Amino acid sequence: MDEVDCKDILTPINRRKWPVPIPKDTSLDLIHIEMLNLGAEYVWLDVLCLRQKGGIREDLHEEEWKVDVPTIGSVYDKTNLNKVVCYLSGLSWPLSSNADDLESDWCWFKHAWTLQEISMNPIIGGDTGDEALWVKFKEKLSSLQDIRDGHVYDVLSEMQKRVSTYPVDKIAGMAYIMGSMSIPAYYRKQPEDDTWIALMDVVASCGQQSWHLADLLFLHPKPGTKSWQPSWKQVMTEKLPPRLRSLDTHSNWTLQLLICNVRTDTFNHGYIIESALVQGLSDGDSQEQEQHGKFVVKDDAGTVHTFKIVAYHQCPIPDGSYTLLGTESWDSGDEAGNGHS
């Protein structure tokens, strides 16, 4: 919620080590009572457990946040064991359908960090007994539940709509959603591209989740500033590819995209056509969901073969000679191109 609606208090709960920001018209005692009414025995509240600005040891603030901020996601990653109470209109505030509140940058649905708080069985705090309003918010939460462990482009598309205090917060807030087994340290002043690359490096190195990197390589239609993935600016400002027709290819891609050292030794173990003529995809008709073209290739015997191809995006691909990379799913007609020659 907006800082102007908050007050700072000192409390023995955190040994008065830093001022705790809470809404002006509530208290920790009232929040405590509502948690008990909701059946909570133990409660983790970020402003109490994560050092806030100010306090007697402000010099520890940045150092603690390097580790504490990224690991917040682990609290919500175990939501099969932990219940998450979502105050959608502000901590301890009653639910509100005010249009201005829903469009505010401080709205729960608009903030970058809350994306990792999505759980399968959330408890909506501040319930006023308005059944229609409760159902409305419940449906909105349900629409986001596939985000966790979902498709990388779904996560990025949702993050495009959100805001953050620091630009790198959007990146750090995706580590647990994307199933990373390790997490990079948090540096709020770090350049966004460096933070993005650091996250992709740890995601790519953790076995089964390396299909995220494969998706970024095979599905993004435009060249990136780093050869294996689009830049952070691209994934935050451009229209992203739609969800795959089938996610079954992920198991193949994980096996095909081998990660030794993501900066220097990443390589694709898959089919390759070193030179093929691609035609018919240069217009990028924005009225259509697909582009249809063809590619022409000559085999070792000198025989010319022509194949129909489909691009599931509207990015123009100039006619010309390309190197094509593929996956095991080529036997079902799925293809990927990379490297204009």
CA distance linking residue 243 with residue 146, whole number of Å: 12
Torsion sign over Cα 309, 294, 212, 262: positive
Distance (Å, rounded) from C-alpha 84 to C-alpha 44? Answer: 10
Whole-structure pTM value:
0.81
Q: Edge-to-edge, what's the strand order for the sheet holding 272-279? A: 304-311, 291-298, 272-279, 320-325, 336-340
Rounded CA separation 222/340 (Å):
11
Q: How far apart are CA 273 and CA 300, in angstroms?
A: 11
For tokens 């102007």, name the residue.
4
Of the listed ranges 135-149, 283-297, 327-341, the least confidently predicted one is 327-341
CA dihedral sign of residues 225, 222, 239, 119: negative
- Specify which residues 276 forms β-bridges with: 322
List the single range of 83-87, 95-99, 292-296 with lowest mean pLDDT.
95-99
In this structure, the chain runs to a length of 341
Integer Cα distance of 47 and 113 in angstroms:
13
Ramachandran sector of residue 26 (left: φ over 0; alpha: ψ -120 to 50; beta: rest): beta
Alpha carbon 76 to chain centroid distance?
14
Which residues on adjacent β-strands are paired with residue 6?
Answer: 23
Place of tokens 């994560």: 50
> What integer is the mean pLDDT of 51-62?
90
pLDDT of residue 303: 95
The answer to whether 262 and 228 have CB atoms below 8 angstroms apart is yes
> What's the N-to-C CA distance of the chain in angstroms?
51
**For the chain, what percent of residues have pLDDT higher than 70?**
79
Q: Each residue of 192-231: pLDDT tens digit?
A: 999 998 998 887 766 556 677 778 887 888 876 656 788 9
